[in-house]
Amino acid sequence: MVRYGRRPLSSSRGFTLPELVVVMIVLGILAAYAAPRFAGRHGFEGRGFSDQLQVLLQDARRTAVAQRRQVCVVVAGATVSVSKSAFSGDACNTSLAHPNASGDYILAIPDGVALAPMQLNFDPLGRLSPTTSVTVNVSGQEGGFTLTVEGESGYVHR
């Protein structure tokens, strides 16, 4: 008579001690490598800021086209600010409101991130004024990131 469902006692299941020791060593090495990455945000500010700057430049271009006004993006000190002309053809003298929050559209440059002072002007057609392409270099602790603003179209890309 054959019994179903019972296994012979000789075939035991589980891990051997050397297998467990090897797994613990591998986990220890991975933890030692990955733990400093999770300890702080440093190393990610440059990429995050370059993403925010790309969105800001795209918003500035869209606003220039939608409102038929000149929109200026100014990098000065530790901030990036956006302003627009009050009337078509005027200088940029009115702060642009932030699209998702109350207050002006100002982006703070985080510590450890460098961005050269500059001014970019988008005309009412969404082009840069003057119409030469501009390269924006954002450098952080993890390396540099480059954004390009095409002069003739105002298109912002990496």
Rounded mean pLDDT, 51-57: 96
Q: CATH topology for 45-157?
A: minor pseudopilin epsh fold (3.55.40)
Query: What confidence category does residue 5 fall into, taking pLDDT thresholds of 50, 70 and 90?
Result: low
Q: Are 74 and 119 in contact (CB under 8 A)?
A: yes
Distance of alpha carbon 70 from alpha carbon 117, whole angstroms: 20
Query: What confidence category does residue 44 fall into, taking pLDDT thresholds of 50, 70 and 90?
Result: confident
pTM: 0.74
Q: How many Cα atoms are found within 13 Å in the side-chain-facing hemisphere of 24?
A: 7
Q: For 3-12, 53-62, 87-96, which range has the lowest pLDDT when averaged over its residues?
A: 3-12
Rounded mean pLDDT, 59-76: 95
Distance of alpha carbon 79 from alpha carbon 152, whole angstroms: 26
DSSP calls for the chain:
-PPSS---TT---S--HHHHHHHHHHHHHHHHHHHHHHH-STTSHHHHHHHHHHHHHHHHHHHHHHHTS-EEEEEETTEEEEEEESSTTS-EEEEPBPSSSSSB-EEEPPTT-EE--EEEEE-TTS-BSS---EEEEEEETTEEEEEEE-TTT--EE-
Residue 156's pLDDT is: 96
